Amino acid sequence: MTLETWLVFSAALFCVGLCGALIRRNAIIVLLSIELMLNAANLNFIIFWRYGVNADAASGVMMVIFSIGIAAAEAAVGLALVIAVYRHFKTVNLDRIDSMKG
Amino acid sequence: MDAPFLIAAVLTLLSAIAAISLRNVVHCALCLTLTFLGLATLYLQLGAQFVGLTQIVVNVGAVAIVIVFAILLTRSSDNPGESRFNKGAIWAGLICAAVFATLVVAINTSYVSMKSGAPAPPLTVEKIGHELMGRYVLPLEAIALLLTAALIGAVIIAMKESNEKGGGQ
Amino acid sequence: MNVPGKGILTGMAQTAKNFVGSYVSKERMTTVQYPEEREPAHEAARNFPFLVFDKDPEAGLRCVACKICEKECPPQCIYIVMKRDENGKPTKQPETFDIDVSVCMSCQICVEVCPFEAIKMDTDYEYGEFDRFGGLLLGKDRLAKSNQYYHKIHPTEAAEVDARLDKERKTKEVADKAKAAKLAALAKKAQNAEKIAGDAKGEKKQ
Amino acid sequence: MQQLDQIFVTLKAWALGHVPEPLQVPASIVMSIAPIMLVFPGIFALTTVAERKLLGRIQNRLGPNRVGPFGFLQWAADGLKTITKEDVVPRNADKVVHFLAPVVLLVSALLAYSVIPFGRNMYAIDIDAGILFFFAVGAGTELAVFMAGWSSRNKYALLGAMRAIAQMISYELPLLLAALAVVMATGSLNPNDMVAAQEGGRGWGAIVPNWFVFTPWGFVGCILFLIAAAAESNRSPFDLPEAESEIIAGYFVEYSGMKFATFFLAEYLGLFVISSMCVVLFLGGWHAPFPFFWCDWIPSWAWFLSKLACIVLLYIWMRGTLPRLRIDQLMNFAWKFMLPMALINLVVVAVWKYTRPWDYFGAELVRWLLCVGLLALPYLLLGRNLLSNRKWGPRTYRYAS
């Protein structure tokens, strides 16, 4: 297992998330793709912690722990926003949510 | 390349692709859960036991459930005739491919100090606890505040209009 | 003082008492072990109809095949054919009397309409059969039960019925006697008249 | 006595000696998993009969007594029946998810067993963050419940699943916080360390075991854990996700035959494993209660199983006694009583730990009084609040408009 393999894998995961965020119409799927990208970034932290020069410092792991916490908060607020938007527009299709002050 | 990594990586990638491409939104959410699980096993393979298990507790136990609830509450009734993809989906796909290619090239050409992993450092839960209470105590408090704010904010955002509606009826 | 959680503990203690008590006292038990022991049927219990006979299960049937019950039965589970003698003359006996108990709804209307107290409700409930079509179609032989059995299962009601029947029989007997007496009187009168006439004739002859 | 205590460990070591070198690791894994997979479904089978008999006695009936001696082979009849029943899948159901739901539930229930120490040196895996692993695999339960409810395409199933998830998430917090009290006291997330911390006894002749349930915070924590565990495993009185009389068995209304049996099995396995966790956390794990010599004759795994049996019997007793809660009562209880109590309990653990070095005369009594007072006062206040806060009025009905 080389560092490159891990990094390529996490890059692939990140690009899948990016692709999902760009191509889908459904707001929830877009949020879900952002979640994927966040996780790919987390994976990078862990990889660099594991393959880094100072693995004893545990800073990568700490970063991921905080990142997971933030991701949870982000998911909660993001989905609350989606629900609020749905109440207003009666749809979660991002192409239709195009007017301000609806 | 060892077998556990290969299995987990393929599973994670395939389920991630399924999560962004399936028509049924609930299926997407379930596939995302599978991705989270695969990622957790990858964390475990990297020797980050605490993070892997936290990943399962938070992402599978909470985030996936919240997503699923949101899906059911919004009842995203895509009419079947309509495409689930954007108008510019092809361009977006191309951009993603370009990003991926750039990243791969960057990874392979950059100088990396340590090519293969040293034996995993023993990172006990106790040590993480000491770190959290010592060097990282300020971020910990900050994240506690953030989570509280997020909780209250999410409740207010999701409740606001239903209150107005309730008053109106 | 109203300590929160007291009610839960009281309830738990009550069920624990039930649990222990069920081993100690037999009277607590609300159920019986069915095939071995049975609870006696209530007097007013009713399940499916049966036919009452007085002495002979074939000839003693009170039923006269009037078919009122057949007509009144809401789910139409009764089927009656009247018996005819060798000359084709109808008798007051049923040739066939079938009740399909899989259809019967235990409404007791047949009992209410019967003018002859011939059909009554049974308390028996063990009709289990392996053949669910033929086995539940009860014929005359299985329906016929004695008046003593009727007395056993519904003593009060049977006593009333018997008293009524006795009264009817008595009034009938009285009526019969009166009729017979009347007839006898008429016959005597006729005889007398004949006699008188004969006498008169004789006298005339002389 | 040592031999009997370690009989399974010795047996495994002996059997492993006969396995060729390259196969030792998989053989060891199989030999750790197989006993769990055999013993606990067996206990499940017996529990179903025992539960019905106990409930019967509580209601002054006899319970099942026909199949086998005293009806104790009833489980075989029930099992045969469910296996031979037709497996009906609704036409509109999402077939794959519908099939996967019971599997996921069973797998997550079984995985949780791997960190429980069932006796001295008897555990499947020994990981640093055992408690975290336990709660992590518990997350699969919620997902499985959702999968079952959603894939059935049945409104009752979906309602049941939604209720179940809301309930599980609400009660997971007190459950975790109650477990966290023990983590605070022992300073470890490893179940083996927790059991080790509860060895021995105190008082005259060490008569009172050092179990955490015999401390103020441990007692409260144990009760909170037991209540939350009942809610987590959908046991009565918190069984409204599968309330038969309201939403016809909730999320598994569309399941039949073997899949239904799998759900049933997984539910009981979840109950056993969460009760086992309670034994590990608060009831001293596999330690014998008294320091008497005869207690050492009984093997440690027998002590563990008997403690487990006591908790399961307590759950059956509760099921026979308490009526089902309404959904608003359930949520009020979780958020307005359980959660504050669990948080206060954490504070009390800290006080308990902080006052440990006190050694002047009567310090122990002061320590106890302080902790009991810190717990009793909020209990009374919260309980009063919960009881007085009932806004009972005439029932209003809202029809679908």
Asked, for residue D364, whether it belongs to a domain, the answer is: no
Mean pLDDT of D86-110: 87
Asked, for residue A68, whether it belongs to a domain, the answer is: yes
pLDDT tens, B68-79? 888 887 775 556
pLDDT tens, C112-125? 898 888 898 988 88
Q: Residue C205 has what pLDDT?
A: 60
For D312, the enclosing helix (H) or strand (E) is: helix D300-321
Chain B residues near any Cβ of chain D (below 8 Å): 26-27, 30, 33, 40, 49-50, 53-54, 56-57, 60-62, 64-65, 68-69, 72, 124-126
Number of domains composing chain D: 2
Q: Do C30 and D380 touch (CB under 8 A)?
A: no
Q: Where are the beta strands (DSSP E) in A2-95?
A: none
Q: Where are the beta strands (DSSP E) in D152-260?
A: 201-202, 208-209
Q: Do B35 and A36 touch (CB under 8 A)?
A: yes
Asked, for residue A53, whether it belongs to a domain, the answer is: yes
Q: Residue D275 has what pLDDT?
A: 92
- Mind spelling out the 3-state secondary structure of D337-374? HHHHHHHHHHHHHHHHHHCCCCCCCCHHHHHHHHHHHH
Q: In which band, very low, low, confident or very high, does the pLDDT at D285 lie, cut at 50, 70 and 90?
A: confident
Number of domains composing chain A: 1
CATH for C49-153, among 3.30.70.20, 3.30.70.3270, 3.40.640.10, 1.10.600.10? 3.30.70.3270
Number of domains composing chain B: 2
Which CATH number do you get for residue A80? 1.10.287.3510
Q: Do B26 and D150 touch (CB under 8 A)?
A: yes
Q: Does the structure show a pLDDT above 70 at C65?
A: yes
Q: Does the structure show a pLDDT above 90 at D225?
A: yes
Q: Residue B166 has what pLDDT?
A: 38
Residue D53 and residue D101 in one domain: no
Residue B2 and residue B72 in one domain: yes
- Residue B15, chain A, CB below 8 Å: the answer is no
Please give the residue of chain A at the shortest CA–CA distance from B117. A51
Please give the residue of chain D at the shortest CA–CA distance from B40. D136
Which of D83, D111, D137 is the last residue before a domain boundary? D83
Give D122's strand partners.
Answer: D119
Three-class DSSP category at D209: strand
Please give the residue of chain C at the shortest CA–CA distance from D58. C19
B-D CB pairs within 8 A amount to 58
Q: Residue D72 has what pLDDT?
A: 82
- Counting as contact any 3 or more CB pairs under 8 A, the partners of B are A, D
Do at least 3 CB pairs under 8 Å connect A with C? no
- Report d(CA D353, CA D186) in Å as an integer: 10
| Domain-wise residue ranges, chain C | 49-153, 155-206
pLDDT tens, D139-165? 888 888 888 888 888 888 888 888 888
Do at least 3 CB pairs under 8 Å connect D with B? yes
Higher pLDDT, B70 or B160: B70
Asked, for residue A65, whether it belongs to a domain, the answer is: yes
Mind telling me how many Å the CA of D386 is from chain C's nearest CA? 9
Which of B58, B77, B96 is the last residue before a domain boundary? B77
pLDDT tens, D334-389? 888 889 999 999 999 988 888 877 777 777 787 888 878 888 888 888 887 777 75
Do at least 3 CB pairs under 8 Å connect C with D? yes
Q: Does the structure show a pLDDT above 50 at C29?
A: yes
Asked, for residue A54, whether it belongs to a domain, the answer is: yes
What proportion of chain D, given as a percentage, has pLDDT over 90? 10
Which of D37, D58, D83 is the last residue before a domain boundary? D83
Mind telling me how many Å the CA of D263 is from chain C's nearest CA? 29
pLDDT tens, B93-123? 888 889 888 988 888 887 765 555 556 666 7
Residue B131 and residue B67 in one domain: no
Q: Do B61 and D132 touch (CB under 8 A)?
A: no
- Report d(CA B48, CA C114) in Å as an integer: 89
Asked, for residue A97, whether it belongs to a domain, the answer is: no
Expressed as residue numbers, the domain containing B1 is 1-77
Mind telling me how many Å the CA of C21 is from chain D's nearest CA? 8
- Counting as contact any 3 or more CB pairs under 8 A, the partners of A are B
- Report d(CA B50, CA B137) in Å as an integer: 18
Residue B71 and residue B13 in one domain: yes
Q: What is the value of ipTM here, to two decimals?
A: 0.74
Asked, for residue D67, whether it belongs to a domain, the answer is: yes
Asked, for residue A22, whether it belongs to a domain, the answer is: yes
Please give the residue of chain D at the shortest CA–CA distance from B70. D162
Query: Most B CBs within 10 Å: which of A6, A14, A16, A44, as the mutation test of the B interface?
Result: A16
A10 CB neighbours in chain B (<8 A) are: none
Q: Residue A40 has what pLDDT?
A: 92
Which CATH number do you get for residue B64? 1.20.120.1200
Higher pLDDT, D5 or D183: D183
Q: Does the structure show a pLDDT above 50 at D119?
A: yes
Q: In which band, very low, low, confident or very high, does the pLDDT at B169 lie, cut at 50, 70 and 90?
A: very low
Asked, for residue B102, whether it belongs to a domain, the answer is: no
- Report d(CA D381, CA B92) in Å as an integer: 59
What pTM was estimated for this model as a whole?
0.80
Handedness of CA C17, C19, C21, C27 (dihedral sign): positive
Mean pLDDT of A40-47: 90
Mind telling me how many Å the CA of B60 is from chain D's nearest CA? 6
Peptide bond into D237 cis (omega under 30): yes
Asked, for residue B45, whether it belongs to a domain, the answer is: yes
Show Cβ contacts of residue C86 under 8 Å, excluding neighbours closer than 6 positions: none
Expressed as residue numbers, the domain containing D178 is 85-326
D332: nearest Cα among D96, D92, D200, D170: D170
- Report d(CA D190, CA D175) in Å as an integer: 17
Mean pLDDT of D80-93: 85
Name the least confident of A71-80, C174-183, D25-34, D306-315: D25-34
Q: Residue B165 has what pLDDT?
A: 43
Three-class DSSP category at B123: coil
Residue B132 and residue B62 in one domain: no
Which of D60, D383, D386 comes nearest C28 by C-beta?
A: D60
Mind telling me how many Å the CA of D224 is from chain C's nearest CA? 13
Asked, for residue A94, whether it belongs to a domain, the answer is: no
